[in-house]
Structures are given as C-alpha cells and as structure tokens.
Structure 1
Amino acid sequence: MTHTITVIRGDGIGPEIMDATLLVLEAMNLGLVYEEADAGLVALEKHGELLPQATIDSIGKNRVALKSPLTTPVGGGFSSINVELRRRFDLYANVRPATSFPNTRSRFAEGVDLITVRENTEGAYSAEGQETAADGSSATSITRTTRKGSERIVRYAFELARRTGRKKVTVVHKANILKSTSGLFLNVAREVAAQYPDIECNEMIVDNTCMQLVMRPEQFDVIVTTNLFGDIISDLCAGLVGGLGLAPGANIGADAAIFEAVHGSAPDIAGKGIANPCALLLGAAQMLDHLGMPDKATRLREAIVATLAARDSLTPDLGGEGNTMAFAKAIASRAA
C-alpha cells in the first residue's frame, strides 16, 4: 500500500535534516510518496502567512505529516505554530520516547527505555483567559482540565503499553496541591487504570518524578501526564540520553498525526551541513510504526544504533567530525 506523506521542511537546519531523513527512507524502499508543504518563516516569506491553508489542507488530506523544526516569530500571530497545528487537528497525544544510545554524551549510556505520553491540547498551553493588568502589576491565565481530555490521554497510554508489551504506566500529577485540575486528572486516571488489570499502574507527584528520573530512570516504562508537566518531563528525559538531538516526537489524533524532531531550528548552524538528523529519523521511525510498518521502524532504529556504535561519520554534537549527509548515508547503508 502506498502512503502519501505531507513533508514540511521547516526553518534553520530543518531542510538539511529533512534531506538526510528522506535519503534514509528512500534507501529503505518503503513506497512512500511525499507532498511538500510550507510552514514557519519560509511560508511567511513565500505566502505571507506562517501556516498557509494549503498546508492545513495537505495534512488533512494525507492524515500523516513529517515535520522539521519551525520558527515562530516574536510578536503577533500564533503563540506557537506547533501548538496551532495540534489545536487544528486535535492532536491530543504527544508521544516522546527516550532511549539510551551508544557513544553519546550522556550520563546514562544504557538502562533508559521509557515513553512520555503528554496531553497535548488542554491545560496551561490552551491559552485560555490570558490577561495582564493595565499597570503590569499582575497577570492571569486559566488552566482547564476536562474529563474527556484526561480519559483519552490516559487510555492512549495504557493502550500503547499493551500494544508494545510494556508493563507499567506511571500517572504523574500534582493533585496534592492542584486539587481541582490535577485532582480531576488523577481521579480519571484511576478509573481508566482499573480497566487494564494486566498493566501495573503507579502514581507519582511531578516533583518527585523529576528527582526519580535523575536518580533511577530505569524504574519508568510509560509516563502519562498533563500538558505542562509533560513538556518539562519529556525534555528532562531527553537530557538523560544525550539531548534533544536524539529526541523524536509524535503528535497523534483521531484523524491526523504529525511526526517531528522536537529540537529547535538552530539558525546558528543552519547551512553548515553539520546538523544531527537523528531526532527526525527517530520521528520517522515513529511514523512507520503508525503506518503499520513496525518491522521497518525497528530496522531504522537498529541502523541508527549501529551507526552510533560504530562511530561512523558522527556529527560534531555527537563527538565526531562527519557532516549531516555523510552520517545519513552511513545510516542508510545499514537500513537498506
């Protein structure tokens, strides 16, 4: 079956890591068809808007997109193009794996293999009721948590654990203090967890979670939490395994999914050909899982691991002297 993928090359190093990623995917002979669309600064320059309707239409039609980092200008418009895409397509589940890799600048060269499942559409990032007093003396923002949003993200986490053979889901909250919003999330999580007796469930307050992740990350399997906590925790987890250059992300909804590198557009190194494409490649592996090609996704991940282990053409951030395309070719040769 042929799948058409909306490809967003993005800003800064985005086009370079997308070229590298598509080179590897083409070497794997997956039968994918790519439809290019613009977003971010390049879209603003070409079309006069950060997120053109043509891009929205392409994602809606194809239902799957692979996206490089985007830059949201300071000032008017969206608070974040990424947040706007999640809102437009109701991409309620943000899925961020963190896995130990060989030959990385990490405190945990082995033992970390966890997934953070973050609610992606509610909470502190919904931008409801944001208001600043006229004299600048105070500011207010509404944080809204719903039963529907809590139930579907917790159920997604348990279904993910069951589907991938994982044994435990940790529900992360702050219900001891935020008794209304975080309390609702925790209560709903308990109700959902009771429907999955085959999956161990434990609860952990968010500050303790951060401490435990730094001390003993191997105790975690799947973490599920709310929007703001998930944003912080998933970046912490990336730091455990070598940084955002090895951190992919999937944004999943009922009708569409967007896969991405979660790092920024790094304009300071754009055009130098030294960007690490691993995060976007790992996002592409998540995409292959989503498209029903888990064997191909595994092959891609194994090729990345083998290339890191061999220190073959590694980019400077990984301690090597290679460039983006040489690194990609080394991975492609193992994934083909």
Structure 2
Amino acid sequence: MLRSAVKTLRAPVSVVQSRTLTSGAFAPKKYGSRYTVSLIPGDGIGAEITDSVKTIFKAEAVPVDFEQVDVTGVSNATEAYHEAVRSINRNKVALKGILYTPVENAGHASFNVALRRELDIFASLVLIKNIPGVQTRHTGIDMALIRENTEGEYSGIESSPVDGVVESFKIVTQAKSERIAKFAFDFALKNNRKRVTAIHKANIMKQADGLFRSTIKSVGESYPSIEYNDMIVDNASMQAVSNPQQFDVLVMPNLYGTILSNIGAGLVGGPGLVPGCNIGTEHAVFEPGCRHVGLDIEGKHLANPTAMILSSAMMLRHLGLDGHADRISKATYDVIASGSTRTKDLGGNATTEEFTKAVLGRLETL
C-alpha cells in the first residue's frame, strides 16, 4: 500500500488522507532516518521555486536528501528524461516542477504525460481552497479535483491518414475508470468529504464518457455514506465560476481536469497558490497543481513559490514527516495572511527569494 497519500493539513488547504488509497508495494528510499527524494526542477520558474523548497528544508533540517535530475521539455532531451524515470523508480517519491511542452508540430510529446504513463501515476489531485489573506471574488471554496492521468484525450494516439485530416483517439477503459473512481471515493471517505461529482460529456460522447460516467456511478454504490452526482463539463465550468461552493470532490478524465484545475486556480488567486500531487501504485510525484511553466517570468525572480512549498508539505506528509509539514505550511500561510510580503501575482513586489526569507523568518518564531 502507499504509505501516505496524505493526511488532512491543519491549515487552510487540506491534503489527502494517507492510507490505502491505492494498492501495490510502496517503500520510499530511506537511509537511516533520512529519505532520498527525486527532484526534477523543470522548465521556466521551476529552478527558482524548487530552490525555495531546498532553502526551507535546509533551514528546518528536514531529513530529506534530493537526488536532482535536470530535465527540460524545451528540447527532446530523452536521455535526461529516462534518467528521471530511473531516479523515481529508485526513490519512489519525487518533487517536480513543470516540464515545457512545445506546441509546434515539430515538438516532441509531453514529458509530463509520458512520465505519468510510464510509471502508471494514474491519479492527479489538485486542491482548490481559499487562503486567508488572498482576496477573491468567491469565498468558501474547498474543492478537490481528481483526474485520471493515463488515458482519455491524453492517450497521444494520433495519425494523419491523408493530407488535411488528423485522427486523434480518446481511450476510455472500464478498468482505469473504476480505479480512479475508487481513488476518488476513498479520498472522500478518508477526508470527511460528502459528495463526489463525476464530470463528463456523455450527452455527446455517449460511449466513451458514457462508460466513464456509468463506472463512477457503479463504484459509488459501494460507498453509501458518500453522495454521488454527475455534471456535464461545460455546465460544470460555468457552475465553477458562478457557484463553486457547491463542489466537494470532482472526478474526471484528463482533459476536463486540466481545464477545471486552471479555472479553480483563477478562483482562489492564481496558479502560484495551488498544490498538487500525482499518485500511482508504487510512485508519488508532487508538483504544483496547475501546469504553468512560467517561461515569461523565468529568471526575473517574480515567481510565487507557494504552490511548490505546499506541494512539498504534502510530500512530507506522504513520508510521515507531519511535524515538518505542519511548520512549513503554517509559516507559509502566516506570511500570506500577514500581507507584508507578497509576490507580484498577489499584488506585491516581493521577489521569490524575499518571500522565501519571510517564510524562514516566520519559522523562527513558531
């Protein structure tokens, strides 16, 4: 079993309950009382925000040693990618920035998607919740977005049988739909959540999304204490921006999860605030919940490291290091709530390093 797919954080953003969310052997690499964790900084602002985590971990004497692998999605750096896979296979746990995927036809396939598929990291969890000190249009938001990572529209099976025609296959299987459904309902049960909503487009894609929808509903019958409902994805997008308080746990195929996680991030203050993780049967990869690379602000020291810091706190809970996770997350929330040190995305002018220094200062007073 996975040792920890996460416990509830004693701070504004809750994190997954930790036990028995997936099956399979799981043993993070540990030497004595220290853990070795793969670190993939990623592209864009990745190095800056992972440096923030490394600085905080060092100051807090967190018993984690990073095995860093520098992978870039900007070029087809396949050997570095394969080394990252080997590293995660060794260590079972990783902290990761976002790898850039070129849009151009000449670009390679997404390393982010390939990594999840190759390691069968099938469940993506993104936590969308208001953070005290961040003023937003809506309050009372507390959503957990769970998406299936390995199939759907991201199957990556495309071909061009004749010029001017492209076929792109969406794959939905009962087995993987059932697996993500069990993950979602287990998460809801272990975190005292009340409702699971399946997001779909079964009115049009009657077989593919129809299978996904019916499978989620069928699995839900084994969880009588959890309410089940479903919603068409376009309506869910509208509801998310008009009445997000109605949502609790949402489970969906990959593409819909990408869209709704970005909508959710916009609701609570932006991608710099939203933590996330990807859980499989044998591996856990922690990364910001919104897949924003930040190429436009790379090297300008403007990035908000909060999402990466909170993702690292989720990782610490996964490793059973709850005390360190509590202190780091509380210090981060306290800095945001105080309003004295804000990065540009939150209306301030603090640099990434200044925000990190403020967190360190708060840690000294806890």
Identity in percent: 42
Distance 1:268 1:92, change over 3 A: same
Contact 2:46–2:97, Cα closer than 8 Å, also in 1: yes
1:52-91 superposed Cα distances (whole Å, 9 cap, x missing partner): 3322111100011111222234454632110111111011
1:297-317 CA-partner distances (Å, limit 9, x unpaired): 344333222111101321111
Match of residue 220, structure 2, among 183, 193, 197 = 193
The correspondence for 2:147, drawn from 111, 115, 118, is: 118
Moved more, 193-202 or 88-97: 193-202
- Give per-residue Cα distances to partners, 1:276-313, cap 9 Å, x unaligned: 10111121122123223345434433322211110132
Q: How does 1:92-241 map to 2 (within 5 A)?
A: 92-104=122-134, 106-108=136-138, 110-128=139-157, 130-136=158-164, 138-241=165-268
- Output the CA distance in 1 between the equivalents of 2:73 and 2:155: 23
1:276–1:72 CA distance, 2 compared to 1 (3 A):
same
Secondary structure in 2 matching 1:132: strand
Amino acid at match of 1:111: G
The residue aligned with 1:38 is: 70
Conservation of the 8 A alpha-carbon contact between 1:5 and 1:32: yes
Take 1:35 and 1:154, find their aligned partners in 2: how far apart are those partners? Answer: 33
CA contact (8 A) 1:97 1:116 kept: yes
Q: Deviations over 1:218-265 (max 9, x none)?
A: 111110111111111111111111111112221111111111123433
Counting only pairs closer than 5 Å after superposition, residues 1-336 of structure 1 correspond to structure 2 as 1-40=33-72, 49=78, 51-73=80-102, 74-76=104-106, 78-104=108-134, 106-108=136-138, 110-128=139-157, 130-136=158-164, 138-261=165-288, 262-335=290-363
Distance 1:192 1:157 in 2: 10
Contact 2:74–2:100 (CA under 8 A) maintained in structure 1? no
Instruction: Tell me the CA shift for residue 131 of structure 1.
Output: 2.0
TM-score normalised by L of structure 2? 0.84
Aligned equivalents of 1:181, 1:125: Cα separation in 2 = 13
Is the CA contact 1:312–1:327 (under 8 Å) kept in the aligned structure 2? no
- Asked if the contact 1:167–1:221 (Cα under 8 Å) also holds between the matched residues in 2, the reply is yes
Q: 1:263 to 1:185 in 2, by over 3 A?
A: closer
Counterpart CA distance in 2 for 1:187 and 1:219 is 22
Of 200-209 and 48-57, deviating more is 48-57
Distance 2:363 2:291 in 1: 24
Structure 1: runs of 5+ lacking an equivalent: none
Instruction: State the TM-score, normalizing by the size of structure 1.
Output: 0.91
Give the aligned length. 330
Distance in 1, matches of 2:322 and 2:181, equals 23
Structure 2: state its 5+ residue gaps: 1-32
- Distance in 2 (CA, whole Å) between partners of 1:43 and 1:78 is 8
Could you tell me whether the CA contact under 8 Å between 1:210 and 1:233 is conserved in 2? yes
Change (3 A) 1:4 1:172: same
Structure 1 consecutive aligned stretches of length 4 or more whose deviation exceeds 6 Å: none
> 1:99-128: per-residue Cα shift (whole Å, max 9, x none)?
1123436322x3111110001101111112
Q: Per-residue deviation at 1:43?
A: 8.2
Give 3-state SS (helix, strand or coil) of 1:306's partner: helix
Structure 1 residues 295 and 116, CA, compared in 2 at 3 Å: closer, same or farther?
Answer: farther
Cα–Cα, structure 1 residues 223 and 304, in superposed 2: closer, same or farther, change >3 Å?
Answer: same
